[in-house]
Amino acid sequence: MELEAILFYFFAGITAFSVLFIAVTRNILYAAFALILTFIGVAGLFVFMGAEFIAITQILVYVGGILVLLVFGIMLTHRLKGQKLKTDRYQMLFGFLISAGIFGLFIQSIHSGAFSNLPWVDQEYSQEVELKSFGLSLMTDYVLAFEVIGILLLVALIGAVRIAGNARKEGTDAA
């Protein structure tokens, strides 16, 4: 087995293991740290899929942004007095049945879909995706979606600050 395949299975193993760890752990902080491992593993897999830009964005946005936000949320919503941050679970059987059923359905449909036999899979795009063409098509073909997503981010930012912000001035605030 060449090095590339070993690395691929290494990242896939990291992802699968940490995802399963999130499913079984009861400590919220451990789940958040396992989520970091998951995101790093998925970023590694993105590199093997020829999507380097998505991999970098994944690390920047998820590990650098969302995880920090999550840990801050955990800090702000628990009184940290040395006790472990446990979360209760409920509906274990129900949830397990539904998710295992959907997992079985996915496996079955992936196998019956037999994607590796489809004609268009044979012409696998082996050439590397250039960052230049990625940026060009982002700014030409998808420019409307790009602008809309920018506005959405701005609105979400303002909304988040407005919701979580200090309520001291709410008496004089018109809103």
Partner 1 sequence: MLLLGALMFCVGLFVVFTRKNAIMVLIGIELMLNSANLNLVTFSRFDPQALQGQIFSLFVITIAAAEAAVALAIVVKVYKYFKTSDLDKINSMKG
For partner 1, the binding residues in 16-75 under the rule CB under 8 A are 16, 19-20, 22-23, 28, 31-32, 35, 38-39, 42, 45-46, 49-51, 53-54, 57-58, 61-62, 65-66, 69-70, 72-74
Interface with partner 1, residue 90, by CB under 8 A: yes
# chain residues binding partner 1, by CB under 8 A: 76
What whole-number distance in Å separates Cα of residue 1 and Cα of residue 19? 26
Amino acid present at 11: F
Residue 4 CB, nearest approach to partner 1 (Å): 14
Minimum distance from residue 126 beta carbon to partner 1 (Å): 9
Residues contacting 59, CB < 8 A, separation 6+: 39, 40, 43
Neighbouring residues of 128: CB distance < 8 A, sequence distance ≥ 6: 50
**143 forms part of the interface with partner 1 (CB under 8 A):** no
Answer whether 41's CB lies under 8 Å from 14's CB: yes
Q: Write down the least CB distance from residue 6 to partner 1, Å.
A: 16
